[in-house]
Amino acid sequence: MGQKVAEKFCMKYFVIPLIFFLIARIEASTTIPLKNQKLTVELPRGWTYQLDYWKIPLAFINSSDNLIIAVNELEQINQLLTDADKQNYFTHYKLGRLAWLSLAFGKLVKFYEYEDINKNPDWKGMVFGYVYKLGQTTFYEKSYYLTCKNVSYNLKYLIDHSQIKVMDTMDAMIRGLGCL
């Protein structure tokens, strides 16, 4: 008799709430139709997407934390870039950011070195960025250049230090993108 009571107690106060918790945590995959292909993404809790958001073709938005990841479709990026080509691209990026910082009276904290992304045969690309200060505020910018099945995208975000706790979530969401 005592075992049945324990089983009912376990079901009522442990297993059933656990099931509801797990169901609430499952992130459903969302398919987003774009001009040349469909993207799939698992949107974390609090995130949505919007097409044609202030002339940005696609934006991932977390309005409670005031966060946006801008997604722009690009002309085809050569998937066969050599390491020297990538380094040259990154060098131009750095020079452009340094010029802007000079005009904005900002201070460079660091550059994120470029990183190759080879998620699978369909997704290839690179990511890089930089950290800088304007006045007392520190900003973090990352730019992803990804090509999936011959369609290229630039995904970019800019956050300040108060939003740093969501940076890993944003990076994971971008790296988790799929294409159809």
Find the helix or strand (DSSP H, E) in which 24 lies: helix 16-25
pTM flag (> 0.85): no
Res. 77 pLDDT band, cuts 50 70 90: low
**Each residue's pLDDT tens digit, 98-157:** 999 999 999 999 999 989 888 777 788 899 999 999 999 999 999 998 888 888 899 999
**Each residue's pLDDT tens digit, 56-72:** 999 999 988 899 999 99
E-strand spans in the chain?
Answer: 29-33, 38-42, 48-53, 56-62, 67-74, 107-117, 123-134, 137-148, 151-160, 178-179
Q: Taking the domains of the chain in order of start, what are their residue ranges? A: 32-179
Cα 7 off chain centre by:
44
Fold observed for domain 32-179 = Protein Transport Mog1p; Chain A (3.40.1000)
